[in-house]
């Protein structure tokens, strides 16, 4: 997304006055940002002065809301207040959740009926993609997201130009609804051909659902995803409908339990597009939550880019269960519609625009194991929060990446979570010896170093996939390390990629939560309209842009009337004639006024195509398929606050640390929050806080800048 011109951003004087008045009268108010991960739930708290405090608590997989309440209790205890009094100070709580994606992966979504145009029942069967191994016929195609037994065909047909060939047979439609009810369906997904051009039949069928099955949640495809590609539109509709019951219950439960605990502020939820929405609104369109958590890491990384100096940021967010990688490119966070719910090509696609991320099973809790052939593996299975790594003492017996880091001296067992959780180094070493070192005939430290090295390689391959696919040379980018386990191998990742610089923000251990804290209220609106540069329909395109802006302004009036800044980001989906796929191209302005504006769009398309694919055809015309407007309403500071500084005069410590290249060496240990600005640290060294340990490998150097970010010069 790009910043719009000043005429596309506005705020009323009265709205600004109301916001300022509200803030001045609430000097003790707090803003919360919570990110629920597989192992830990992260919380960042900002006070009125912009001072940040960071807290972590174990996630409760069977009850994620309990993890949210638990981490709030940790923060209240640290503030010396009862939980209810502490939460009463809360003005806003922003929540990032994996509940939606977990429901999909584990098959706990609602039983959903799929209603489509007669003669087209196999959209979800044929899908898109193929096989990762084209000639391996022993691998079955995935079952459709909604089975054929729950697929129903409506007698109707709208043509590509919007004309009605076959009117909707309402009597037959009512009969189908009776069959849907008899099937035991808990939700309905409606995706009719060319409803994106003429939605009359979908709207009519929606009214029939409300009349005959008034308690049944449903989703209409033209409202949730007006995309030209039938499978993607059908999948996003099916996903949204299947999530409505479970996410409605989750949001109601979250809101209710927070209010019972004492929170009476505004509850916002992180969306896949890298913004936030009110919980009540996102519960009505839960497909926006599928990529909720990972979408915030690049928002946080962008805010911490020192002086905006790096043109491209590779953002790694290493949690206990997964490693998520995303990008910030020239100040813009790339989005994609090709988000898969499993392995690319051989799983299902969401079809919705979302922040472009890639996730793999490589985190601090990833389990290391040796197969029957004597080959070491790390992940994708994770020890998670329960039972956790062997060192946690919660019943885990298998070695993890965290156990390896403890055995190597990278993590201080006595200082984990600020000393609130004591780790068992002997248990970590015993698990590594039993499961990895003895089967490989190696010492514990060599085996532990191999575990970290293999985890690093998995992460590097994920980074190469997302960067090379967008024409990015990693050697020209900076690596931003986020997540509680990020510091263990961030220098190793940077060296392997050829990056010169690694950034570790002071809130990097909760990077997604810090991004959520400064994110804007946002809504993405899209419409389909085909136009070609050779015969560009300026009036037709402007009419579509007028409609999109009206929808954006309606969102602003309802959701962000007191916003301090309102901006609309405009893009189009364009391609060369006869090209199979489109790319997203930012628009310089919100309307087309002349042929010169069209020529600028064509030029921008050629340049963007060159950046992504390293090739362009400047002499070719282009065609546009879809138009997008994303409105952003800023309700807080666009800049991150600062963690309260520690004692800069604290004495330095040291401890033995193992590196594969040097063996055991004494490494200086520095407190992250107490590190003076611009003090040069030479590796080997450890920079640790209560929430993370940053390993500065031999040969690397580090310093902390004025924003609190640790800047590591990698050097080979």
What does DSSP assign to residue 332? B
For residue 6, what pLDDT is reported? 28
Residue 9 has pLDDT above 60, yes or no: no
Note the pTM of the prediction, 2 decimals: 0.86
For residue 656, what pLDDT is reported? 94
CB atoms within 10 A of CB 126: 12
What does DSSP assign to residue 435? I
For residue range 403-419, what is the model confidence (pLDDT) as tens digits?
A: 999 999 999 898 887 77
The dihedral through the CA atoms of 696, 508, 456, 654 has a sign that is: positive
Number of independent structural domains in the chain: 3
Residue among 118, 198, 114 nearest 154 (CA): 118
d(CA 524, CA 628): 7
For residue 25, what pLDDT is reported? 46
Where do runs of H (alpha helix) occur along 262-334?
279-284, 297-304
In a domain, 606, yes or no: yes
For residue 3, what pLDDT is reported? 33
In a domain, 183, yes or no: yes
Q: Same domain, yes or no, for 433 and 544?
A: no
More confident residue, 422 or 84: 84
**Contact criterion met (CB below 8 Å) for 355 and 272:** yes
Across-strand partners of 382? 366
For residue range 249-268, what is the model confidence (pLDDT) as tens digits?
A: 999 999 999 999 999 999 99
CA angle 245, 246, 247 (to 5 degrees): 95
For residue 646, what pLDDT is reported? 59
For residue 647, what pLDDT is reported? 54
The dihedral through the CA atoms of 169, 171, 177, 179 has a sign that is: negative
For residue range 600-653, what is the model confidence (pLDDT) as tens digits?
A: 999 999 999 998 888 999 999 999 999 999 999 988 777 777 887 655 445 467
**Contact criterion met (CB below 8 Å) for 289 and 269:** yes
In a domain, 531, yes or no: yes
- Domain boundary residue among 201, 228, 243? 243
Q: Same domain, yes or no, for 433 and 556?
A: no
For residue 309, what pLDDT is reported? 55
Q: Same domain, yes or no, for 437 and 528?
A: no
- Residue 139 in tokens: 């691998």
User: Which structural domain range is residue 237 located in?
Assistant: 111-243
Residues 172-196 have a mean pLDDT of 96
d(CA 715, CA 698): 9
Split at pLDDT 50, 70, 90, the class of 71 is very high
For residue 287, what pLDDT is reported? 94
d(CA 92, CA 279): 12
Q: Same domain, yes or no, for 430 and 543?
A: no
**Contact criterion met (CB below 8 Å) for 70 and 131:** no
For residue range 558-571, what is the model confidence (pLDDT) as tens digits?
A: 988 888 889 999 99
Q: Same domain, yes or no, for 214 and 120?
A: yes
Q: Same domain, yes or no, for 115 and 237?
A: yes
Residues 434-458 have a mean pLDDT of 95
In a domain, 447, yes or no: no
Residue 18 has pLDDT above 50, yes or no: no
Residue among 617, 543, 528 nearest 578 (CA): 617
For residue 562, what pLDDT is reported? 84
- Domain boundary residue among 634, 652, 675? 634
Across-strand partners of 269? 95, 277
Residue 2 has pLDDT above 50, yes or no: no
For residue 11, what pLDDT is reported? 28
For residue 21, what pLDDT is reported? 37
Q: Same domain, yes or no, for 410 and 526?
A: no
Decide: helix, strand or coil at residue 151: strand
- Domain boundary residue among 618, 634, 650? 634
Q: At what angle do helices 444-468 and 490-497 cross, to 10 degrees?
A: 50
More confident residue, 125 or 639: 125
In a domain, 548, yes or no: yes
For residue 308, what pLDDT is reported? 52
CB atoms within 10 A of CB 178: 11
In a domain, 250, yes or no: no
Residue 112 has pLDDT above 90, yes or no: yes
More confident residue, 379 or 23: 379
In a domain, 559, yes or no: yes
For residue 23, what pLDDT is reported? 42
List the CATH number of the domain containing 601. Answer: 3.30.1490
In a domain, 576, yes or no: yes
**Contact criterion met (CB below 8 Å) for 400 and 365:** yes
Residue 666 has pLDDT above 90, yes or no: yes
Burial grade of 111 (CB within 10 A; 0-12, 13-18, 19 or more)? middle
Q: In percent, how much of the chain has pLDDT > 90?
A: 59
Q: In percent, how much of the chain has pLDDT > 70?
A: 94
């Amino acid at each position: 997304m790009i910043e719009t011109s000043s005429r596309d951003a506005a705020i009323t004087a009265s709205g600004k006055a109301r916001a300022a008045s509200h803030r001045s009268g609430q000097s003790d108010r707090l803003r919360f940002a919570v990110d629920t991960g597989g192992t830990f739930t992260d919380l960042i708290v900002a006070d009125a002065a912009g001072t940040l405090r960071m807290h972590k608590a174990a996630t409760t997989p069977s009850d994620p809301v309990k993890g949210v309440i638990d981490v709030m209790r940790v923060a209240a205890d640290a503030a010396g207040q009862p939980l209810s009094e502490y939460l009463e100070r809360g003005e806003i709580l922003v929540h990032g959740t994996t509940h939606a994606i977990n429901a999909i992966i584990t098959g706990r979504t609602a039983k959903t009926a799929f209603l489509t145009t007669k003669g087209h029942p196999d959209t979800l069967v044929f899908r898109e993609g193929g096989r990762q191994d084209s000639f391996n016929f022993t691998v079955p195609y995935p079952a459709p997201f909604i089975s054929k037994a729950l697929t129903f065909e409506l007698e109707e047909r709208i043509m590509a130009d919007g004309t009605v060939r076959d009117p909707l047979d309402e009597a037959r439609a009512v009969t189908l609804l009776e069959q849907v009810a008899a099937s035991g369906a808990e939700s309905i997904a409606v995706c009719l051909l060319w409803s994106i051009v003429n939605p009359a039949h979908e709207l009519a069928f929606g009214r029939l659902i409300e009349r005959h099955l008034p308690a049944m949640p449903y989703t209409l495809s033209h409202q949730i995803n007006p995309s030209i590609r039938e499978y993607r539109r059908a999948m996003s509709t099916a996903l949204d409908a299947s999530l409505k019951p479970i996410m409605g219950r989750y949001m109601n439960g979250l809101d209710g339990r927070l209010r019972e605990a004492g929170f009476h502020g505004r509850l916002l939820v992180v969306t896949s597009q890298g913004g936030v929405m009110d919980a009540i609104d996102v519960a009505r369109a839960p497909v926006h939550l599928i990529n909720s958590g990972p979408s915030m890491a690049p928002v946080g990384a962008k805010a911490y880019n020192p002086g905006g100096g790096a043109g491209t940021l590779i953002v790694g967010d290493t949690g206990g269960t997964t490693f998520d990688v995303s990008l910030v490119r020239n100040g813009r966070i790339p989005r994609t519609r090709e988000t898969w719910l499993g392995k690319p090509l051989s799983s299902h696609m969401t079809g919705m625009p979302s922040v472009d991320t890639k996730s793999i099973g490589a985190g601090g809790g990833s389990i290391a194991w040796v197969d029957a052939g004597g080959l070491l593996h790390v992940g994708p299975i994770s020890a998670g929060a329960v039972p956790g790594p062997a060192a946690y003492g919660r019943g885990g017996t298998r070695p993890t990446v965290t156990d390896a880091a403890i055995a190597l001296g990278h993590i201080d067992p006595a200082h984990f979570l600020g000393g609130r959780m004591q780790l068992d180094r002997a248990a970590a070493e015993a698990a590594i010896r039993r499961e990895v070192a003895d089967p490989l005939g190696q010492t514990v430290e060599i085996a532990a170093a191999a575990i970290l090295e293999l985890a690093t390689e998995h992460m590097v391959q994920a980074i190469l996939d997302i960067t090379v696919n967008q024409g990015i040379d990693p050697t020209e980018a900076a690596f931003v390390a986020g997540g509680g386990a990020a510091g263990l191998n961030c220098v190793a990742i940077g060296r392997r990629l050829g990056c010169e610089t690694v950034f570790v923000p002071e809130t990097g251990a909760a990077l997604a939560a810090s991004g959520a804290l400064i994110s804007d209220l946002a809504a993405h609106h899209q419409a389909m309209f085909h136009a070609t540069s050779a015969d560009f329909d300026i009036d037709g395109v402007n009419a579509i842009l007028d409609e999109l802006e009206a929808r954006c302004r309606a969102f602003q009036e309802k959701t962000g009337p007191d916003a301090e800044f309102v901006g609309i980001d405009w893009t189009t989906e364009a391609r060369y004639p006869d090209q199979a796929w489109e790319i997203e191209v930012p628009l310089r302005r919100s309307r087309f006024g002349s042929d010169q504006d069209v020529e600028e769009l064509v030029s921008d398309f050629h340049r963007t195509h060159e950046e992504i694919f390293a090739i362009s055809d400047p002499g070719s015309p282009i065609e546009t398929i879809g138009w997008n407007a994303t409105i952003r309403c800023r309700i807080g500071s666009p800049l991150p606050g600062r963690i309260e500084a520690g004692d800069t005069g604290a004495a330095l410590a040291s401890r033995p640390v193992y590196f594969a290249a040097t063996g055991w060496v004494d490494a200086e240990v520095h407190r992250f929050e107490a590190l003076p600005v611009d003090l040069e640290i030479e590796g080997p060294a450890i920079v640790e806080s209560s929430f993370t340990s940053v390993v500065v490998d031999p040969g690397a150097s580090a310093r902390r800048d004025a924003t609190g970010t640790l800047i590591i010069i990698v050097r080979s």
